[in-house]
């Protein structure tokens, strides 16, 4: 077994972190087509981002390219997956087994990118005790007790907005360190708690607005 | 019936569009608690954004507040929902009924925010002909024919990355004007086509990195 240095030593800029998965999927495609090497210039031609930007982004990742040849595709894929945390298993709980919460429990894709939801919490007797997508649903009151057994640091927040803050506070009290917030509510947390907002509704709003603008041009 | 001006006249800045749903959910909470008025200062205290920024964002929306009283909560909610396009029904097709695609079909929440998925396409005989979350799944070959019947402008992209570009091209050929891209692949489109990227995996990568940074501080 090889001991690894802790991944992603510093605080990598968020735009870089958001672009790296694009390079990863590009490298996977090249590999699928039988390619052995890939250069930032080639990636650039495919995804329309400056080659110098790509090289700069990849400089955060522990991978070295060779002049005129580029990166070894296998090495680049492994380095990116490692760096992005996709090869680790990060255990998580999900809070709020409504429509979106249930959908996320059924999305087995998340586990391939390092997020393993090991339990869900709700107060609805219709879902408590069930398995959704293979994940057990517990009563919310069991959260603190479960926390002592499982090694969970991440909470996925998919509750209604009127309890979003209350559940957030409880999660943090119980020991959750990072919250993936799918609600359209802006939660307040202490400084050391990580929050990642993924509001599908905000993204929809942007898309509708842009579509309206384009439609009016026609 | 009242005739409305076309919504969101100009190109509203994306950060504004992303913040407006926060104000909306805040207004809904105030209403739920029996409040009649809400000011940008009150919203500011709740969600930790500058009151002046909030006032500026809300100036894009067709709603007027009253000095020392603020906005009428009902009016603000209606104006925001209208402006964000959540009160319209935007028909959409979904492409790729895998794990994430199936999960989105089951998420009935999207329709409350204006996105009505009316059909899905795949090539897998196991899902073709089925109804998932009440939405019929068709063979991908039927797409162009269906497009002529339904009035659909939005495509939700949840296919594997190796066919993401190919399916994108087909969607656009068939008449799709806006693409909600859930794949971690950066698709290329003509300038007039709207793309909204929602890569859950990119968000995960950001969260894992930030969590690692915090953990190393302890």
Which value does ipTM take for this structure? 0.87
Q: Does B185 touch chain A (CB under 8 A)?
A: yes
Q: Please give the residue that has the higher pLDDT: either A114 or A5.
A: A114
- Per-residue pLDDT at B213 exceeds 90: no
Distance CA B146, CA B89 (A): 18
User: In the predicted model, what is the mean pLDDT of chain B?
Assistant: 91
Do residue B161 and residue A104 have CB atoms under 8 angstroms apart? no
- How confident is the model at residue B26, as a pLDDT? 93
- Burial class of B181 by CB neighbour count within 10 A (0 to 12, 13 to 18, 19+): buried
Residues listed for chain B: 218
Confidence class of residue B10 from pLDDT cuts 50, 70 and 90? low
Provide the percentage of residues in chain B whose pLDDT is more than 70: 95
Q: Does B45 touch chain A (CB under 8 A)?
A: no
Q: Does B34 touch chain A (CB under 8 A)?
A: no
| A63-88 pLDDT, tens digit each | 888 878 899 999 999 999 999 999 99
- How confident is the model at residue B72, as a pLDDT? 95
- Burial class of A145 by CB neighbour count within 10 A (0 to 12, 13 to 18, 19+): exposed
Distance CA A198, CA A109 (A): 16
Of B21, B46, B204, Cβ closest to residue A202: B21
Confidence class of residue A10 from pLDDT cuts 50, 70 and 90? low
| B70-105 pLDDT, tens digit each | 999 999 999 999 999 999 999 999 999 999 999 999
Mean pLDDT of B127-145: 96
Provide the percentage of residues in chain B whose pLDDT is more than 90: 77
Do residue A25 and residue B185 have CB atoms under 8 angstroms apart? yes
Q: Does B69 touch chain A (CB under 8 A)?
A: no
CA distance A97 to chain B (A): 11
Q: Does A34 touch chain B (CB under 8 A)?
A: no
Distance CA B139, CA B117 (A): 16
Q: Does A114 touch chain B (CB under 8 A)?
A: yes
Mean pLDDT of A130-146: 96
Which chain B residues are within 8 Å of A117, Cβ to Cβ? Answer: none
Mean pLDDT of A179-198: 95
| A39-58 pLDDT, tens digit each | 999 999 888 899 999 999 99
Residue of A nearest to B44 (CA): A186
- Per-residue pLDDT at A104 exceeds 90: yes
Residue of B nearest to A178 (CA): B211
- How confident is the model at residue A109, as a pLDDT? 85
| B15-73 pLDDT, tens digit each | 999 999 999 999 999 999 999 999 999 999 888 899 999 999 999 998 888 878 899 99
| B108-122 pLDDT, tens digit each | 889 989 999 999 999
User: In the predicted model, what is the mean pLDDT of chain A?
Assistant: 91
Which chain B residues are within 8 Å of A191, Cβ to Cβ? Answer: none
- Burial class of A67 by CB neighbour count within 10 A (0 to 12, 13 to 18, 19+): exposed
Which chain A residues are within 8 Å of B207, Cβ to Cβ? Answer: 154, 178, 180, 194, 196
Which chain B residues are within 8 Å of A103, Cβ to Cβ? Answer: 103-104, 106-107
- Per-residue pLDDT at A1 exceeds 70: no
Distance CA A40, CA A44 (A): 6
- How confident is the model at residue B11, as a pLDDT? 76
CA distance B141 to chain A (A): 24
- How confident is the model at residue A61, as a pLDDT? 92
Residue of B nearest to A14 (CA): B206
Q: Does A126 touch chain B (CB under 8 A)?
A: no
What are B121's strand-pairing partners?
B95, B138
Confidence class of residue A154 from pLDDT cuts 50, 70 and 90? very high
Distance CA B46, CA B93 (A): 37
Do residue A177 and residue B211 have CB atoms under 8 angstroms apart? yes
In 3-state terms, what secondary structure has residue B83?
Answer: helix
Residues A5-26, buried b or exposed e (16+ Cβ, 10 A)? eebbeeebeeebbbbbbbbbbb
């Amino acid at each position: 077994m090889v001991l690894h240095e802790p991944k992603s030593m510093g605080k990598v800029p968020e735009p870089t972190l958001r672009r790296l998965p694009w390079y990863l999927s590009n490298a996977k495609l090249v590999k699928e087509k039988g390619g052995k090497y890939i250069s930032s210039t080639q990636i650039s031609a495919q995804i329309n981002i400056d080659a110098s930007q790509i090289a700069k982004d990849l400089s955060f990742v522990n991978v070295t390219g060779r002049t005129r040849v580029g990166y070894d595709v296998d090495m680049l894929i492994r380095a990116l997956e490692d760096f992005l945390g996709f090869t680790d298993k990060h255990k998580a709980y999900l809070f709020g087994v409504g429509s979106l919460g249930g959908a996320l429990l059924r999305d087995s894709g998340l586990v391939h990118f390092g997020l393993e939801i090991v339990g869900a919490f709700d107060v609805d007797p219709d879902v408590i005790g069930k398995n959704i997508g293979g994940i057990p649903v517990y009563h919310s009151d069991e959260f603190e007790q479960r926390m002592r057994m499982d090694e969970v640091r991440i909470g996925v927040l998919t509750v209604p907005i009127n309890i979003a803050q209350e559940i957030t506070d409880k999660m943090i009290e119980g020991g959750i360190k990072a919250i993936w917030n799918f609600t359209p509510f802006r939660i307040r947390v202490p400084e050391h708690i990580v929050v990642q907002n993924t509001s599908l509704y905000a993204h929809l709003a942007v898309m509708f607005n842009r579509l309206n603008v384009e439609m009016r041009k026609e």
